[in-house]
Structure 1
Amino acid sequence: MMKMKTPPIVSAQEWENAREELLVKEKELTRARDAMAAERRRMPWMAVEKDYRFEGPNGMVNLLDLFEKRRQLIVYRFFYGLEVTNSYAEGGMYPERGCAGCSFLADQVAHPAHLNARDTTLAFVSRAPQSEIRGLKKRMGWAEIPWYTIIDDFDADFGVREMHGTNAFIREGERIFRTYFVNNRGDEAMGSTWSYLDITALGRQEEWEDSPSGYPQTPPYRWWNYHDAYGEH
Structure 2
Amino acid sequence: MATTHLSGTREEWLAARLDLLKAEKELTRRSDEVARQRQALPWVRIDKAYRFETEQGSASLADLFAGRSQLLVYHFMFGPDYKAGCPSCSSIADGFDGVAVHLANHDVTLLAVSRAPLAKLLEYRSRMGWTFPWASSHGSDFNFDFNVSFTDAQQREDSVEYNFQRGGHAMDATPSPPPVVEFAANCGTDALTYSRDRPGMSAFVLEDGVVYHTYSTYARGVDGVWGMYQWLDRAPKGRNETGVWWRRHDEYGRRQATS
What range describes the TM-score normalised by the shorter chain of this pair? 0.7 to 0.9
Equivalent residue of 1:112, what SS?
helix
TM-score, structure 2 normalization? 0.65
Q: C-alpha distance in 1, partners of 2:226/2:109?
A: 13
CA RMSD of aligned residues (A): 2.0
Residue 106 of structure 1 and its aligned partner are, at CA, apart by 0.4
Which string of whole-angstrom CA distances, capped at 9 and with x for unpartnered residues, describes residues 96-145 of structure 1?
x21111111101223311111110001111111121111111111111x1
1:75 pairs with one of 73, 76, 81: 73
Alignment of 1:1-233 (within 5 A): 6-84=4-82, 94=83, 97-109=84-96, 110-143=98-131, 145-150=132-137, 151-161=139-149, 162-190=197-225
Question: Any stretches of 5+ residues in structure 1 without a counterpart?
Answer: 85-93, 196-233
Q: For residues 4 and 13 of structure 1, do their structure 2 counterparts lie closer, same or farther at Cα, with a shift above 3 Å needed?
A: closer
> 1:90 maps to what in 2?
none
- The percent of aligned pairs where both chains have the same amino acid is 39
Secondary structure class of the residue paired with 2:217:
strand
**Distance in 2 between the 1:106 and 1:77 partners?**
10
Task: Name structure 2 gaps, 5 residues minimum.
Answer: 150-196, 231-259
| Deviation (angstroms), 1:5 | 8.1
Cα displacement string for residues 163-216 of structure 1 (whole angstroms, at most 9, x for unaligned residues): 111000001121000000011001121156xx9xxxxxxxxxxxxxxxxxxxxx
| 1:200 corresponds to | none
Pairwise CA distance, 1:4: 11
4+ residue stretches of structure 1 with deviation over 6 A?
none
How far apart in 1 are the matches of 2:55 and 2:72? 18
More helix by share: 2
Cα deviation code 1:12-54 (max 9, x no counterpart): 1111111001110010000000000011111100000101000
CA shift, 1:57, in A, is: 1.3
Q: SS in structure 2 opposite 1:70?
A: coil
Counting matched residue pairs gives 179
Q: Secondary structure at the match of 1:51?
A: coil
